Amino acid sequence: MTGQVLYVGDMHLPGMLHARGLLSSEHHARIVSIDTSRAERLPGVRGVATARDLADNVTGQIVKEQPIFADTKVRYRGEIVALVAADTEEIAHAAVELIDVKYEPLPAVFDAREAMKPDAPIIHEEGQEKLCKGNRIMVFGHDCLQQIHGDVDKGFAEADIIVEETISTSGQRSVPIEPHACLVRPEAVGGVTVWSNTQVPFMVSGTLAQALGLPLNKVRVIVPAVGGGFGQKGQMTIEPNVAALALKVRRPVRWAMSMHDNMVYGSTKAPHYMTFKLGLKRDGTLTAIHRTHISNAGAYGSTACISSGKAAMIGSGTYRIPNQSAEVWTVYTNTSQSAPFRGFGMSQPSVAIETMMDIAARRVGMDPLEFRLRNALVDGDRCGTGQVMHSVGITACLEKVKMMARWGVGTSDSR
């Protein structure tokens, strides 16, 4: 270990300023006013950027509804309201404390199931019937993703046993050791050069060009070493905020978030609430499954919609279930937005379907591994989307695990 790797937080350019952001202290509130005058008068402060400094203040990967700077409203605690550029980090920190934001607090909702109720606070009023219905996000034009394969009613009628369970997974932060960091240099010929620890430089360059009102060839994104991302840096984050400020002051600006701010602002794995109903014969053969998923997107849709789509497609796992249906809702709440997180969109339904396999195996008195072998997909089977599977190695894999783990040999502790 030499310590020679250069991260964004280590970079310095001639004339570079240091940035610090003002993050919302409210979970849900209207912004009555933003007064930056005291901060701008502080010696060493070179500029303050807000929503009015961007050509296009709205972004979003799937659903375009997220302000780059909060403008008329904040929808979660930690949303970026303003960004200060100063000669030192200490001055920038002091200046942020001088910005006066007056809020009109609004009722907040944090649980996606509560957010779906008719009387829940509406988080995106302006997007109704276009981007959302109530707090249900319209993913690809629909507020509920549905998947149907076979005849589910018939499958349940043929079942000897019905198993139904509700299973939830929590929101988790990936907590990379390096928080979000971005350095932007305005170029004399127009445009910007951006150094960011993003995982998606091409996505950032395109969205950033739109936000700044620049041609794509005027936005250059460079990714030095990334001190961990794990999905949290898998979408555009602070780049347009820093770029707007750099263009305003006409000097390079770097914002290396503190770990505290990164924890408040940063995205999470989408919490899911899932109800699975499974039909099976007494010999352990699966006949039908119906799944409902409620995904907590947080305050903005972003990539949560992709996660929901994956849940709809792969939620029945690697099992031969001839009759399947699924309903998936992606729901706004007043929490930080959901984002990719290790096995993006797959870990939540995988937890549920594997839990159901264990419960079903117990109901029919079968060994859980043998139960899986009985129902595992093989070549020629159709998966939940109706696609014919080819080159399936599930049973071979399970048999090898069974042998290597000495499954069933000796006491039950071997499991």
Please state, in angstroms and rounded to a whole number, the distance separating the CA atoms of residues 185 and 86. Answer: 15
Domain membership of residue 308 (yes or no) is yes
Residue 412 binned pLDDT confidence (cut-offs 50, 70, 90): low
Kindly report, residue by residue over 50-76, the tens digit of the pLDDT. Answer: 999 998 999 887 788 999 999 999 999
Contacts of 371 (CB under 8 A, 6+ apart): 284, 357, 360, 361, 364
Contacts of 151 (CB under 8 A, 6+ apart): 323
Kindly report, residue by residue over 180-190, the tens digit of the pLDDT. Answer: 999 999 999 99
The residue segments making up the domain with residue 313 are 127-173+268-414
Domain membership of residue 345 (yes or no) is yes
45-49 and 73-74 beta bridge pairing: unpaired
Domain membership of residue 223 (yes or no) is no
Q: Which two tokens stand for residue 29?
A: 């509130």
Residue 414 binned pLDDT confidence (cut-offs 50, 70, 90): very low
**Residue 413 predicted with pLDDT over 60:** no
Kindly report, residue by residue over 98-145, the tens digit of the pLDDT. Answer: 999 999 999 999 999 999 999 999 999 998 988 999 999 998 788 999
pLDDT more than 90, % of the chain: 84
Domain membership of residue 401 (yes or no) is yes
**Residue 415 predicted with pLDDT over 70:** no
CB half-sphere exposure, 113, CA atoms < 13 A? 9
Q: Assign residue 131 the CATH number of its domain.
A: 3.30.365.10
Q: How many separate domains does the chain show?
A: 1
Please state, in angstroms and rounded to a whole number, the distance separating the CA atoms of residues 373 and 285. Answer: 11
Alpha-helix residue ranges (DSSP H) falling in 180-322: 201-212, 239-249, 259-265, 304-314
Domain membership of residue 389 (yes or no) is yes
Q: Which stretch of 20-29, 149-158, 253-262, 384-393 has the lowest confidence by average pLDDT?
A: 384-393
Task: Output the pTM of the full model.
Answer: 0.94
Domain membership of residue 35 (yes or no) is no
Residue 304 binned pLDDT confidence (cut-offs 50, 70, 90): confident
Domain membership of residue 38 (yes or no) is no
